[in-house]
Every structure is written in C-alpha cells, then in structure tokens.
C-alpha cells in the first residue's frame, strides 16, 4: 500500500477570496496588452537607432584583447581573475544555483508572503546587505588588483616596503612570503589520482602533490571569503537584532548575491581593458589582435 505511514504536512492552496476578485477580462488582459505594447514599441525604437554589433569574420589566429564572454558570464570571468579556474567557472556557480533552488525548502514559513517587504525589518535588511555587498565587492576587487596598495602609496605615501608586499593582492601571498621549499610540493597520496586530473594542467593540487601556497591563494582564501563573508554579514545582522527569521537571513543572502552579481558584471563589462587590466571605462580600448596593428 502506497499510503504514508506518518501523516506529513502538505502545503495546500489558500481558499479563494471571491469578494476581493476582479474580472481578468478586461482588467488584467488590458494591462498585459499595454505592457506588451510599450515593450514592443520601445524595442522597435531602440532597434531603429542602435545596430547589433558585427565585427570582422571569426579568425582563430587573431585574438582580440581583451576577449570577453557574453555579459551574463562576465561575472564568472571576473571571478576567474581572482581564483582558480575550476572554482570560479564551475564550482561557485553550481553551488550557488543549488543554493538558490533550495531557498523555498529552507524558508517554509508563510508569513509575509504576497507583498513587497512585508516582514518587519525586511526593507532595512535589504538596504544594509545591498550596501555592504556593493562596497565589499568593490573593495575586494580593488584590493586584489593591487589598486589599494597603489592608492595608499600614491595618495598617502604609505608603503609597507618589502615586508608587507605580500598584502598587496591575494596572489602575492604566494610569491612574496618566504614559503619553505617543501611546502610547494607536499605529497599526500602515494599514487597519482589521474581520474580527477583529466585536464593534465597544473594547479594547486595535482591529486598527488599539494602546492600549499598555491592552494592557499587559489582555493582556501577564496572559499573562506565566499562562505565566510556572507556568513559574517548574516551573523552580524542577527546579533544586531535585525535578522530574526529564516526569511530575513535569505533576504540578506539574496540581496547580497544580486548586488555582487551586478558589481561583477559591471566591472567585467566596463572596467576591464587590455590584458584584463582594471581601467576606467573611458580608457577601455579593444585591440583587435591583428598582427602589425597592436598599437591602438
């Protein structure tokens, strides 16, 4: 018999509130029609005045500099500049998509549904986590491209010299600290685990030897930041009494994600120039990579 042994609660639709209802025709249909009309006309006008780009024909021998992925993948490409390729390109987005899909199974309380910012501190939480994510992401990007060290040096004359050089960006922790030679190749398996290392490329782990400084810089620090910083945000909001329920925690997390996505896309689109250098948008120059025409 396929009946449940234990009666588990199943969410059922709410009963209809018939006295609060209006007819779909015309009230909803008309609104849908107007929105379709506005967007059609708006996009037609846009299409009349702005052409879709078409560059030279595809040529595998000529690489434009910078080569960028489509804009919705630029946030991943930006992440790629700060951590290991497998992490940035696959692990982070997959983990995030699974987390995103799991939201409703974490927050099952029906309170505050059906209206914008209906729970008590929701507006404040959204604003605070949005601001923190915005400023924090910018600061992290600026730090990791060495701009903060440069800024401190050129505006305030502060310089840590050689002793503090390892703090300039994340990668310099690998090269500027006096790591002992043995830490760059710690053998932890007596055989080479080829199945996981199908790429044949190097990396902090080659599934036999561990390059500890490389692993630290490419995986440990990014993972700590990606997991630790949102946790820190939610924890501090909880300690301050703003975050009370699971919904509040998800609000902070989701808002943070949206803002981080936006900042990474913005930086990847408008602020990365040749060689993926951080430049101001008006200094953005794309070299078409044609041999003999590099000076652009």
Q: In whole angstroms, give the CA distance from residue 216 to residue 265.
A: 26
Indicate the residue among 172 and 276 with the shorter CB distance to another protein.
276
CB of 126 to another protein, least distance (A): 8
Nearest CA among 265, 179, 165, 171 for reference residue 222: 171
Nearest CA among 139, 264, 215 for reference residue 149: 139
CB of 33 to another protein, least distance (A): 10
Indicate the residue among 154 and 293 with the shorter CB distance to another protein.
293
Element (H, E) at 210: strand 209-210
CB of 175 to another protein, least distance (A): 22
CB of 270 to another protein, least distance (A): 4
Indicate the residue among 213 and 262 with the shorter CB distance to another protein.
262
- Count other C-beta atoms under 10 Å from residue 130's C-beta: 17
Instruction: For residue 205, give every residue at least 6 positions away whose Cβ sits within 8 Å of its Cβ, in sequence order, or none.
Output: 211, 215
Indicate the residue among 179 and 254 with the shorter CB distance to another protein.
254
Instruction: For residue 173, give every residue at least 6 positions away whose Cβ sits within 8 Å of its Cβ, in sequence order, or none.
Output: 166, 167, 213, 216, 217, 221
CB of 154 to another protein, least distance (A): 27
CB of 291 to another protein, least distance (A): 14
Indicate the residue among 126 and 145 with the shorter CB distance to another protein.
126
* Residues 170/141, Cβ–Cβ less than 8 Å: no
CB of 293 to another protein, least distance (A): 13
- Count other C-beta atoms under 10 Å from residue 17's C-beta: 7
Within 13 Å and on the Cβ side, how many CA atoms surround 22? 7
Element (H, E) at 137: helix 122-144
Instruction: For residue 3, give every residue at least 6 positions away whose Cβ sits within 8 Å of its Cβ, in sequence order, or none.
Output: none
Indicate the residue among 149 and 253 with the shorter CB distance to another protein.
253
Indicate the residue among 97 and 158 with the shorter CB distance to another protein.
97
């Amino acid at each position: 018999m396929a009946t449940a042994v234990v009666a588990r609660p199943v969410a059922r639709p709410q009963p209809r509130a018939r006295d609060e209802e209006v007819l779909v025709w015309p009230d909803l249909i008309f609104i849908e029609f107007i929105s379709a009309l506005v967007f059609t006309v708006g996009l037609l006008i846009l299409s009349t005045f702005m052409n879709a780009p078409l560059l030279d024909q595809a040529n595998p021998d000529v690489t434009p500099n910078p080569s960028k992925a489509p804009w919705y993948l630029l946030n991943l490409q930006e992440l790629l500049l700060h951590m290991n390729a497998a992490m940035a390109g696959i692990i982070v987005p997959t983990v995030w998509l699974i987390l995103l899909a799991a939201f409703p199974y974490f927050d099952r309380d029906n309170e505050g549904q059906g209206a914008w910012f209906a729970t008590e501190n929701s507006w404040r939480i959204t604003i605070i986590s949005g601001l923190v994510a915005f400023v924090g992401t910018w600061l992290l990007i600026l730090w990791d491209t060495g701009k903060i060290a440069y800024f401190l040096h050129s505006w305030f004359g502060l310089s840590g010299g050689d002793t503090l050089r390892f703090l300039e960006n994340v990668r310099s922790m690998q090269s500027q600290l006096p790591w002992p030679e043995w830490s760059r190749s710690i053998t932890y398996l007596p055989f080479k685990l080829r199945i996981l290392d199908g790429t044949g490329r190097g990396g902090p782990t080659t599934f036999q030897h561990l390059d500890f400084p490389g692993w630290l810089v490419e995986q440990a620090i990014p993972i700590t930041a990606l997991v630790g910083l949102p946790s820190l945000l939610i924890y501090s909001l909880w300690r301050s009494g703003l975050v009370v329920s699971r919904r509040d925690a998800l609000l902070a997390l989701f808002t943070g994600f949206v803002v981080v996505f936006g900042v990474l896309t913005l930086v990847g689109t408008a602020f990365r120039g040749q060689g993926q250098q951080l430049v101001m948008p008006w200094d953005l120059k794309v070299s078409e990579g044609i041999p003999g025409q590099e000076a652009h």
